[in-house]
Amino acid sequence: MSELNLVLLGPPGSGKGTQGERLNDDLRLPYYATGDILRGAVRDETELGKSAKAFMDAGDLVPDEVIVGVIAERIDSEEARDGFILDGFPRTTPQAEALDAKLAELGREVTTVLLIDVSDDEVVRRLGGRRTCEAEGHVYHVEFNPPKQEGVCDIDGSPLIVRDDDKPEVIRKRLATYHEKTEPLVSYYDGKGILRRVDGARDPAEVTEELRGILDAARS
């Protein structure tokens, strides 16, 4: 296989960002977090970036075709010649179909989809335990990375707060959206024979090793 065009799937809090960055280091493939791509296009004032900004300024969702166009600009570049890692897109089956169509125009296709599978209870445990420094945004976790003094940042002594995104009721809503909108992609990509499922509840280093094994096999 000459290139690895990867999509990372999984619920919020599954560790996609951590694993994406590790794969980026391992494979030397560009790691595209979709939100970052969109913000970059807006900042650089590309034509598609200007179009996206108009929707965002109006408080509207950016249409799928605009997002796919922005992503295609990055994929159709020298840095992504040997492949890419997509995180955060597609989020729905229509977006996956639009991405497939755009990649086909470029003579390419998604080669492997990595599903990092984590239960809802584990997601709530991970995200609900986060505490954030009110002043500088330093992040702690009540279980995995607690501060020396409860409720106080080790670095600057500021109070630690629970962000709205990390409140259990908000996390449950995000999970409900994931199950409704994004989880159907599991069947979509499984039907294409390119989905690989990994247990994301384990230690991140174990998850990384399994992902490496999957991709070594895909490249052989």
Q: Do 123 and 134 form a contact (C-beta atoms < 8 A)?
A: no
At 49 the pLDDT is: 85
At 46 the pLDDT is: 85
Which sequence spans correspond to the domains of the chain? 4-119+181-219
At 196 the pLDDT is: 97
Q: What confidence tier does 83 reach under pLDDT thresholds 50, 70, 90?
A: very high
**Range with the lowest mean pLDDT among 27-41, 77-91, 164-178?**
27-41
Q: What confidence tier does 79 reach under pLDDT thresholds 50, 70, 90?
A: very high
Q: Is 196 a catalytic residue?
A: no
At 58 the pLDDT is: 81
pTM: 0.87
**Range with the lowest mean pLDDT among 15-19, 51-55, 166-170?**
51-55
For the cut 70, the answer to whether the pLDDT of residue 1 exceeds it is no
For the cut 80, the answer to whether the pLDDT of residue 38 exceeds it is yes
For the cut 80, the answer to whether the pLDDT of residue 59 exceeds it is no
For the cut 90, the answer to whether the pLDDT of residue 29 exceeds it is yes
Type of residue numbered 33: A
- Per the CATH hierarchy, to which homologous superfamily does domain 4-119+181-219 belong? P-loop containing nucleotide triphosphate hydrolases (3.40.50.300)
Q: Is 74 a catalytic residue?
A: no
Q: Is 212 a catalytic residue?
A: no
For the cut 80, the answer to whether the pLDDT of residue 12 exceeds it is yes
Of the residues 163, 172, 181, 219, which is catalytic?
A: 163
Of the residues 39, 53, 91, 181, which is catalytic?
A: 91
pLDDT tens, residue by residue, 87-133: 989 999 999 999 999 999 999 999 999 999 999 999 999 999 999 99
At 78 the pLDDT is: 92
Of the residues 108, 126, 130, 131, which is catalytic?
A: 130
Of the residues 39, 102, 172, 174, which is catalytic?
A: 174
User: What is the SS3 string spanning the chain?
Assistant: CCCEEEEEECCCCCCHHHHHHHHHHHHCCCEEEHHHHHHHHHHHCCHHHHHHHHHHHCCCCCCHHHHHHHHHHHHCCHHHCCEEEEECCCCCHHHHHHHHHHHHHCCCCCCEEEEEECCHHHHHHHHHCEEEECCCCCEEECCCECCCECCECCCCCCEEECCHHHCHHHHHHHHHHHHHHHCHHHHHHHHCCCEEEEECCCCHHHHHHHHHHHHHHHHC
